[in-house]
Structure 1
Amino acid sequence: MDQYKRMGLFNRLTPPRGLVAGTVAAIAVAWTVSALEPGSSSTAPIVQSAIYLALLALTVANPRLKVKVVRTVQRWTINPVMRALVAIGLNPLGLAILETRGRRSGLPRRTPVGNGRKGESFWIIAEHGLRAGYVQNVRADPHVRVRLRVGLRYRWIPGIAAVLVDDDALARQRHIVAWHPLRALNAINVRVLGADLVVVHVRLDWFGKSDGAVKSTRTLESTEARKDVPVNN
């Protein structure tokens, strides 16, 4: 019995896969940027490193509390700014906007996400897992739109989304990044801010022919993970 208790405690105190690597990468980026600025103070990278380490500790100690804290900050500060920037054509981080329909209100909900477009597929690594509001919206109604830059203009592309609970989020993330610097930066942020990653796949409909006669979300969740580019664990 004591052995099982110790194993349970060990599991609870073990950080999620990829979190430590993401934290180390985020700290390295902070110090690298500081080093590249002549005469810059070390205060900023020290503060950033402390924040990243605090998020790591909070993830281990209380993942639910971390999700609440990060979601609150994102909802009231980061997301509105990014939505406004993309709306006027400015997108320094190379993000996209995912539009879902609120599962309770029925109103459009727009969330900045990493640009995970691969051909006719759009991949999202949701840092808050099944707790994310847009993930819950997708499970209630898979019909979504994604605002992407096509050529010199931004367009809304309709699609059908599915939550792939059995897909390997870290392996999928590595495939999405593919040495792209902005996607790599977003991947670091997702790992640092996240607590329970999950994959969302959107099948883009470039000709706008998506309609209600589509497979159910449950069917999509079980089939889409086996389509497209395979991921090696």
Structure 2
Amino acid sequence: MSEQANPRVRPFAERLHFIPRLIVRHPQALLVRLFRNYIERAPGWVLLTTKGRKTGLPREVLLPCERFDNRVLVISTYGWRSNWMRNIQSHPEVRITCEGQTMDGRADIIEAVLVRQELVSAHPFFVPFPTHLLNAIHRTILRPLWVPFLRWWVRRRPVVVIHVRQ
């Protein structure tokens, strides 16, 4: 049985998804519009453009990410209820903007828990800080603490790997 069909394994945050949808949705769109130049170049972030599952219109969301080998790793905090997750289930072809480049890709949702845990162990996923020193501390000194947390975190959350076309 897939995790998507089993409501017992869904993250608690998924039940609270209505709160950020009401509060964050429009301010995030405004922030993306105001700071697009910075966001498109910010390390550790990706501007993901999906195709709306109902309208077919482009939908943008700003997500923290981990990049490796022409791939981008993102995690859905709110599980399957995130609009961007439901959009890529319907239309896996996406566009990403990161480090000043816009690229097309295909989003693959990783179903197997062990594979998700292996991915975050090999490519730890840290929400980036605006200073290199704090990012370096996270990736070195705090890594032994973060990796077990990430392995626990992804047990109930979808992990998406976007394969970027060059």
TM-score for both structures, normalised by structure 1: 0.49
Structure 1 unaligned residues grouped into runs of 5+: 1-11, 17-58, 207-233
Identity over aligned residues, as a percent? Answer: 20
Give the aligned partner of residue 200 of structure 1: 160
The answer to whether the 8 A contact 1:83-1:111 is kept is no
Aligned to 2:132: none
User: Normalising by structure 2, what TM-score?
Assistant: 0.66
Q: Please tell me whether the aligned partners of residues 167 and 199 of structure 1 are also in contact (alpha carbons under 8 angstroms).
A: no
**Distance in 1 (alpha carbons) for counterparts of 2:126 and 2:26:** 31
**Secondary structure in 2 matching 1:127:** coil
Cα RMSD after superposing both structures: 3.4
Q: Which has the larger radius of gyration?
A: 1
Structure 2 counterpart of 1:84, one-letter code: L
Ranked by relative contact order (alpha carbons within 8 Å, sequence separation 6 or more), the top structure is 2
Aligned pair partner of 2:38 in 89, 94, 116: 89
Pairwise mapping of residues 146-157 of structure 1 onto structure 2 (< 5 A)? 146-149=96-99, 154-157=100-103
**In 2 relative to 1, CA 172–80 (structure 1 residues): closer, same or farther, beyond 3 Å?**
farther
**2-structure distance, mates of 1:94, 1:103:** 27
What SS does the aligned partner of 1:177 have?
A: coil
The structural deviation recorded for 1:175 is: 3.5
Aligned-partner Cα distance in 2 for 1:144–1:92: 19
**Structure 1 residues 118 and 70 mapped into 2: Cα distance closer, same or farther (>3 Å)?**
same
Which whole-Å CA distance do the structure 2 matches of 1:135 and 1:89 have between them? 24
Q: Deviations over 1:93-140 (max 9, x none)?
A: 741100100010100001001132112111111111111111111111
Cα distance change of structure 1 residues 142 and 180 upon mapping to structure 2, 3 Å threshold? closer
User: Which structure has more strand as a fraction of its residues?
Assistant: 2
Which of 18, 21, 36 is equivalent to 1:71? 21
Q: 1:115 to 1:84 in 2, by over 3 A?
A: farther
Matching residue's letter, 1:202: I
Instruction: State the 1:157 CA deviation.
Output: 0.7
- Select the structure that is richer in helix: 1
Q: Unaligned regions of 5+ residues in structure 2, if any?
A: 1-7, 130-134, 140-145
In the alignment, is residue 175 of structure 1 matched against residue 122 of structure 2? Answer: yes
Instruction: Report the equivalent of 2:55.
Output: 105
Aligned residue number for residue 166 of structure 1: 112
